[in-house]
Amino acid sequence: MSYLNKAAMRSKTGFWPNNRGTILGVAAFAVVIAIIPFTASSSMMNIAVFSMIFALPAIGLSLLMGLAGQVSLGQAAFFAIGAYTHAILLQKFEMPGPVAAVGGVAAAMLAALLIGLPMLRLRGHYLALATLGLGFIVMIAVREWEFTGRTTGIYGYGRPEVFGIPIDNNGLFFWFVAPFVLIGLVLALNLTRSRAGRALSAVNDSELAAESLGVNTYALRVKVFTLSAGFAGLGGVFYAYQVQIVSPQVAEFHVSVELLLMVVLGGLGSVWGAVAGAFIVELLSEGLRDLIPAIIPGATGEVQLIGYGLVLILVIILLPGGLYQVVKSAWAAITRRRADASAKRSPVIAAADDDGSGEVPTRAFGGLPSETTAGDGLDEVADAAASDARIPTVSTPVAAGEPILEVSGLTKRYGGVVAVDDVTLTVPAGQIMGLIGPNGAGKTTCFNMITGAIAPTSGTVRFLGEEIQGRKPHVGAEAGLTRTFQNLQVFSSTDVVGNVYMGRYRKGRAGILRGMFGLQGREQYAHEEIARDILDSMRLGDVAGLAAGDLPFGRQRMMEVCRALAAEPALLLLDEPMAGLSGSERELLAQLLRSLRDAGLTIVLVEHDVAQVMALADSVAVLDDGVLIAHGDPESVRNDPAVIVAYLGTDAEEAEAELKELEDQS
């Protein structure tokens, strides 16, 4: 059966949203757009026009904040750059309207690219403050620069014409803007479902985990920042046409506040919410222009920000998820009631439906019973799964026994504290190496330096012959080095199969443009099928469509291992993968690791269960207080006096005496 057919069969609980719903929504929106000019009053028509204009920068800001998690208070700056560039090209250079419009959008995107390259190395509130400063810089520049008309602005250009018809009233202008909003809406929706969109959501959930799967988070943020500015620049183009004058007011702080309010009110991460928020805020803006002066006599201009501030506070307190969350919750309640009603009509389904979804849990592996979604373990199926689990594809670029990872003199200091001290070891290909030691020995710090999560103070890390120390995690990940984490790094914004799908990121090729134009369907479905097969092999197929954050801890741990295996790594670093697992889950994972080792995968395993490590590993390295105190086969390490001292707290002489006594007894 083809990937496309299998994906269609699984669409009910599939990873990708139902495109039919999107098509129906866009079609309904198009119908509303068509009839508004025939039904709206002149004042409402004016609100509708500006709603369409500001919907464009709001969509861009929604992608930046909701999808990529980057807080920007400078969207008005790019809106102003687009508007000013367009007006200047029209008025001073007398360029054709389409050429001037393209110039306005290009200027906004170019400015965003040049500014974003240094600025997007900042995080959180630092980035928010930097973009706020950018807004003030643009506002002051256009106010003081003779070329931009200073406080007077740019004016004197006419309204556009389409096929010889002048767009000289709000109804026609509304229809003039609306197709661009519809196209922008569809492109943004496509992006949210694409490989790049899923990567952006993953970065928002856990940047470190996303980078460890091969996502170049910095480059991706720069791209979406530039794209967001393009939406803002296009909105500025239409604004310049509508008002026929571009003045410094277009770059003022209150414009950024309005755009932020649109996105928050509509719901972060929802493209539809941004469009709805634009209309609501424009409607609110008209109301505040009348309300604020009535409450505060003589209040004008920026005093209106008081109203925006109050609305923003109320939305954050009462509707933290915005309108999108309200609609989503209402739809979930309706779906739940339908499922309950269906269950009452069918007692068999009611008995089988353990997760309350109204669906019978799937069965995999030729009819073996799958556990309920609420179960904590794999007790009923672990033995069978260990014997017939399908082994994920592994990468074996190095001959068995040849060095795949070489660590030399690896040291990490935090001030006067030495966390890892001059560690040197070699990992041969095709083997399992255990890395053990007491709590605080430096095992996770070693992992973090090897994968690039932190830079070493000194020393080198060579993977497949290339030095990767001090470089970002995505560098090693792209070469085939993948890891899991001691503290779970779950992509909570998606479901279980979406998490594992992210492991396929480095195997994909579709970027932002292909994602926006929906030109990656086969790639998506193929990688989703691989993700589902891996979940099936680990007995997680029945929960593939559930929210990842809703799984019990042990099953989240198993899901993270599946995600790492989906990358088809050459070297897999597992940081305490058995923590929180039941006995049957441990046995299933141990059997899988043996099978992967036999298939050629190299594994480095950090684990507190020393007995399990000794049973699994071909070689064992022991850290104590950041120092490598032993490295060899499990038997020699088990009997090493220094290791006994580290674990039992005795001194070296006592340890040697105990070992000699044991040898004499044997």
> Which string of DSSP letters, residue by residue, matches 434-497?
EEE-STTSSHHHHHHHHHTSS--SEEEEEETTEE-TTS-HHHHHHHTEEE--SS----TTSBHH
Cα 485 to chain center, whole Å?
A: 17
* 326 domain residue, yes or no: no
pLDDT band for 11, please (50, 70, 90 cuts).
very low
Q: 277-329 pLDDT, tens per residue? A: 999 888 887 776 666 666 666 665 556 667 767 777 777 787 777 888 888 78
Q: 402-433 pLDDT, tens per residue? A: 999 999 999 999 988 999 999 999 999 999 99
* 398 domain residue, yes or no: no
CB 412 within 8 A of CB 445: yes
* 222 domain residue, yes or no: yes
* 537 domain residue, yes or no: yes
Q: Lowest-confidence range among 379-393, 552-566, 648-662?
A: 379-393
**Rounded CA separation 220/202 (Å):** 11
- The pLDDT, as a whole number, for residue 481 is 95
Number of H helices and E strands in the chain, helices first, is 27, 14
- The pLDDT, as a whole number, for residue 620 is 94
* 527 domain residue, yes or no: yes
Q: 454-485 pLDDT, tens per residue? A: 999 999 999 999 999 999 999 999 999 999 99
Residue 630 in this model has a pLDDT that exceeds 90: yes
As for how many domains the chain has, the answer is: 2
Domain containing residue 494: 403-632
CB 642 within 8 A of CB 630: yes
Q: 91-147 pLDDT, tens per residue? A: 999 999 999 999 999 999 999 999 999 999 888 889 999 999 999 999 999 999 999
Q: Tell me how far CA of residue 39 lies from CA of 25, 45, 179, in angstroms.
A: 21, 9, 19
* 241 domain residue, yes or no: yes
* 313 domain residue, yes or no: no
Helix (H, G, I), strand (E, B), or coil: what is residue 311?
A: helix
* 316 domain residue, yes or no: no
The pLDDT of 218-235, averaged and rounded, is 96
Q: What CATH number should be reported for the domain holding residue 623?
A: 3.40.50.300
Average pLDDT of the chain to the nearest whole number: 84
- The pLDDT, as a whole number, for residue 337 is 83
Residue 16 in this model has a pLDDT that exceeds 80: no
Regarding whether 577 and 448 lie in a shared domain, the answer is: yes
Q: Lowest-confidence range among 1-15, 25-39, 442-456, 575-589?
A: 1-15
Regarding whether 280 and 150 lie in a shared domain, the answer is: yes
Pair of tokens at residue 101? 């419009």
Q: Tell me how far CA of residue 328 lies from CA of 132, 335, 517, in angstroms.
A: 32, 10, 26
Regarding whether 410 and 285 lie in a shared domain, the answer is: no
- The pLDDT, as a whole number, for residue 644 is 84
**Between residues 576 and 378, the one the model is more confident about:** 576
Share of the chain above pLDDT 90, in %: 60
**Rounded CA separation 160/96 (Å):** 10
- The pLDDT, as a whole number, for residue 51 is 96
